[in-house]
Structure 1
C-alpha cells in the first residue's frame, strides 16, 4: 500500500511515492483564469501544499513530479522564478524585526537571480519595488502563505496590530499593477478588509467561497474512494473479519458515510452545493487504521489543527456567546460574513467560521442572512472542548471506575454528584449562572466536550426535554429548574417532575434502552450554587 503523505511539499510526496490526491485540474484552471488570487481556509487544510504545487509547476514544470496527474500533458506555461513567502516564519511581536526578515527574504531572492541591482531597503514595500525595478522586463511568481499570521497573533494588542496592518497594507499597495508579476496567490485563515488586499490590492481575486474552486482544498467523497481505496478496504476487512478482496462496494459506501459523519461537511461554496472533508483528519484517521489495525474515529481536529492561536488570543479579551454556539443554525448578517473589517471587531461567528469551528449551512445571498453551523461530529466535539476551556477552571472527569461514563453506568446520585462537581468548576466571574438557559447551556458544553451523545432540547410530540444523553443501553433525561430561593426549591422540583411525566421526555425511539428520567433544581444563590434537590421519576 502507498503511504499517506505527511508533507506539504509535492516533491517529497512524489519522491517517497506517497499518495497524492490529484488537485492539478483546479490549479491548471486557476492559473489560466486569473493572474492574482486569494483564498482563506482553516489551519491544516492543505493551503501550503496547494501553494507548493503551484510553485513547483511554475519553477520546474511537470517533469518529473507530475507524471500520472491530470495536468501532465496539459501544462504549457514557461518556467518562472518563484518568490515564496511564508509569514509563519517571520516575527510576530516586533514590527522592525518583521520588516527586516521580510525584506531580507526579498533580497535573498534577488541575489539568487543574480540581478545587477542589489535590494537594500529594510522596508518590505520599498524592497519589493526595488526588486521590480531590478527585474525590468523579467517576470516572477509570488506565493504568500499565512499572510495574516502577524495580525492574528496580535488580536489583543491594538497598537501592535495596527503597525503590522499598516506594513502589510503598504506591501500589497506596492504589488498592485506590477507588470513583473506573472502570477500571485495569497492564503491565510482570515479574510480582512482592513489589510486592504481587496482594496489597495483590488486586482486580487478572492476565491474563498467561489463555487468553481470550493473543492480545490479539502477532500471530496469521490477523491477518498479513488485515492484511498486500499485503506477503506483494509478498515472494512479489520472490522468485519473478512478478506480485503471480498469487500463490496456497498460496504465501502457505508464506511465512507461513517467517515463523513466525523470529518466531512465543510462548505466553502457560495451556492452551498460542494462539501469537503478535513484533509488532516482523514489522513490521520487512515494512518491510525493502518498502524493500529483497528478502526477508531478519533478527534484529531482539536489536538493539532483545531486550536489556532487566533482563537486563544481572541478568548482572552472576548466572551463567546455560548448559548448561540449551541444552536445547530446560527444566523448572521450577510455583510458581516462577506466583508469582515478588522480582527479587533470581527463578528465572533465569522471568526469561528474562518477558523473551521463553524461552516456555511446556506448559500450566500446578499439579501438574506447567512446560516452557519458545525461541519461534523469531530468539530462539534472540538468546539465544546474549546468552550470548556473558557468556562471551567479545572477538568472534571466524566468517568467512574474502569473508564465507564458516570451517566452510562452510575446511579442517579452519582450523576447529580458529577454535575455538582462540574458546576463547582465554573468560572462564575465570567459566566454567572443566573437562569435556566445558561445552566442548561453550561452542562451541555461539558457533556458534548466529553464526547457524550447529547440531544439538546430534544423534541417529541408533546414538548422538548432540557438534556437527553444516549448510550447503547441507557438513555438519561434531565429536566432542569433554576431558583435562587430555598423556599422555591420544592415547587420547582414538583414542576420538573410533572413536566417529565406529562410530556413523556425520553420515550421517543427508546428501543430497548434503560430510561433514567431525573427532575432536578439548581439553586443559584451565592451560598448554594449547586443542584440542591433532585428526584428520579419512577416509570
Structure 2
C-alpha cells in the first residue's frame, strides 16, 4: 500500500518516496499543445502547487518522474526548457519594500540555478525581463514561467487597503514584464486563490486564457471519484463511499465534480470525518464582510450570481458572493443564460464546508463558546426526541442570555435576518440536513430540517417588520408547505416562530405535528 502524500506539493518527493499519486499529467500535455498563457483560480490547499511542480518537472524534462504516468509516452523529453518558478506561498509580506526584496531573492535564485547574470540590479521589472531574455538565449529555447500563489501578498493584507494596493502595484510591476517578453517565452501559467481583474493586476497582460471555469479543466486539481477509488482502493475498504462523498466531494467548475484532496487524504489517514480543510484557515475577513452587509445567512445556499460578479474581485470591490466562491466556500451547481448574460447557481460543495462555515459564523453571533457548544448538544437531542417544545425553550433561553451591551455593539436588533440566521447556523453546524428557502409548488419554506424520517418545516417572522397578516404557523398551513413531504416522511412538524426586535427574543412559538398520511 503506497503512502499518502499528505502535505506534499513536489512531484519528485511523491514519486521517489513511494507515495500515491493521482495522475494529472495529461493536463500538462493539453495545455502546452493548445495555448501559451494560462490563468487558474482554485481554493487554498487544493493541489495548485503540486500541479505547478508537475508542469515544472515536465518542461525541465525530468522524464523518470513520469514513468508509468500518461505523459511519459506523450512528451518530447529531448527539450529541457529554462523554467522560472516564482512562488509567494512562503511567509507573509507586510510592505512594498518586503515584496520587492522577496522578488529580488527569487530572481537571484533563478540566476544561480540557470547560470545567467542580470544587468539591472535596482529594477524588479528590468531584472525579471533580463532573466527571461538571457535564460532563453543561453538554453536556445524559449523560457517557461510558472507563478504560484500569485495573489497571496495582496490577500495577506486585504484588511489594510492601503498596503494591499501597494502590493498590487508591486505585483503589477512584475507581471507586466511577461507581455513584453513574448518572443522569449514558450509557456506561462499563473495560479492562486482569487481572480483579480486584468485591468488592476495584469496591466498589458490581456492575453491570459482563464481556465478557471473551463469544463475541460474542472478536474485539473482535486480528485474525481473514479480517480480516488482507483488510486486509494485499498484504503477505502470497509468505508462508506456515500458518506465520504457527502463530506468531501462536490466541488465543480462547470465540469466533473471533484473531492477536496487535502481533506480526503487526511480522512484516509485518520479514518474520521472532520473539518480538515476548514481548520487550515480562518475566514475572519469573510465573516466581517457578511456582518457588515447584514447578510441573511440562509441565503448563502441560494445565491445566483452573474459571471461578472463571481469573476470580479478587487481591493475596492469585494462582495460576499465573489469571496465565498473564489475562496472555496461555495461552488457552482449549474449555470444558465439570461438575455445574453450567464448566471451561476452557487451552493455549498459538501458537509465539511457547510457545517464548518456555519459554526464559524455562529462564533460571531454567540457571545459564549461554552454556551454555544452546550446549546448544540441540546438542540440535537431535541431533534432526536422529536420535541419542538424543547427547541422553543433552548432558543428562548439562548436569546435571553445575550447581553444587551453585545447587541448594542453589533446592532443586531436592527438586523431582521439575525434571528433566523442563528437558527440556521445552529442546525447546519450540527451537520443536520437543512434546506433554506426550500422550494415548493406553493412558495418557499423558510427552512426545512430532515432527520430520522421526520421533516421539520420552519417559518420565521419579525412581527414589527413583517406586516403579512396571520401567524407564521398559519402561513405554513395556508401555503400547504407540508404537501412536499407527505410521501417521503413518516412525520411532519410545522413550526412557526415569531420574533420581536424590541424584546430581542421569540414572542410566539407554535407547532403542529402531522402524520404523513394526513
Q: TM-score per shorter chain, which class?
A: 0.7 to 0.9
Q: Does 1:524 align with 2:501?
A: yes
Is this contact kept in 2: 1:211–1:274, CA < 8 A? yes
Unaligned runs of 5+ in 2: none
Which residue of 2 is the match for residue 239 of structure 1?
none
Q: Does 1:9 align with 2:10?
A: yes
Residues 236-276 of structure 1: per-residue CA shift (max 9 Å, x gap): 5xxxxxxxxxxxxxxxxxx3x443333222222xxx34322
Aligned alpha-carbon RMSD (Å): 3.4
CA distance in 2, matches of 1:120, 1:91: 26
1:318-397 matched pairs, under 5 angstroms? 319-320=292-293, 322-323=295-296, 326=299, 328-338=301-311, 340=312, 342-363=314-335, 365=337, 367-374=340-347, 375-395=349-369, 396-397=372-373
Which residue of 2 is the match for residue 417 of structure 1?
393
Q: 1:337 to 1:475 in 2, by over 3 A?
A: closer
Please identify which structure carries the higher strand content.
Answer: 2
Is this contact kept in 1: 2:176–2:202, CA < 8 A? no
1:425-464 matched pairs, under 5 angstroms? 425=402, 428=407, 429-430=409-410, 432-434=412-414, 438-458=418-438
Which residue of 2 is the match for residue 173 of structure 1?
176
Structure 1 residue 484, shift from structure 2 partner:
5.0
Is this contact kept in 2: 1:91–1:98, CA < 8 A? no
Which residue of 1 is the match for residue 39 of structure 2?
38
Q: Which range moved further: 121-130 or 67-76?
A: 121-130
CA distance in 2, matches of 1:462, 1:196: 46
* Partner SS, residue 334 of structure 2: coil
Residues 16-38 of structure 1: per-residue CA shift (max 9 Å, x gap): 21110011111111122222321
1:98-177 matched pairs, under 5 angstroms? 98-115=99-116, 117-118=117-118, 121-132=121-132, 134-135=134-135, 137-138=137-138, 139-177=142-180
* Partner SS, residue 380 of structure 1: helix
CA distance in 2, matches of 1:207, 1:401: 44
Structure 1 residue 352, shift from structure 2 partner:
1.1
1:456-475 matched pairs, under 5 angstroms? 456-458=436-438, 465-472=445-452, 475=455
Unaligned runs of 5+ in 1: 237-254, 290-295
CA distance in 2, matches of 1:347, 1:53: 34
Residues 379-425 of structure 1: per-residue CA shift (max 9 Å, x gap): 22233234324433333125577995343338544322321344354
1:27-426 matched pairs, under 5 angstroms? 27-63=28-64, 65-77=65-77, 78-89=79-90, 91-115=92-116, 117-118=117-118, 121-132=121-132, 134-135=134-135, 137-138=137-138, 139-178=142-181, 179-193=183-197, 196=200, 198-235=202-239, 255=241, 257-268=242-253, 272-289=254-271, 296-304=272-280, 307=281, 311-316=283-288, 319-320=292-293, 322-323=295-296, 326=299, 328-338=301-311, 340=312, 342-363=314-335, 365=337, 367-374=340-347, 375-395=349-369, 396-397=372-373, 405-409=381-385, 411-423=387-399, 424-425=401-402
Structure 1 residue 230, shift from structure 2 partner:
2.0
Q: 1:313 to 1:195 in 2, by over 3 A?
A: farther
CA distance in 2, matches of 1:68, 1:80: 22
Q: TM-score, normalising length from structure 2?
A: 0.84
* Partner SS, residue 455 of structure 1: strand
Q: TM-score, normalising length from structure 1?
A: 0.81
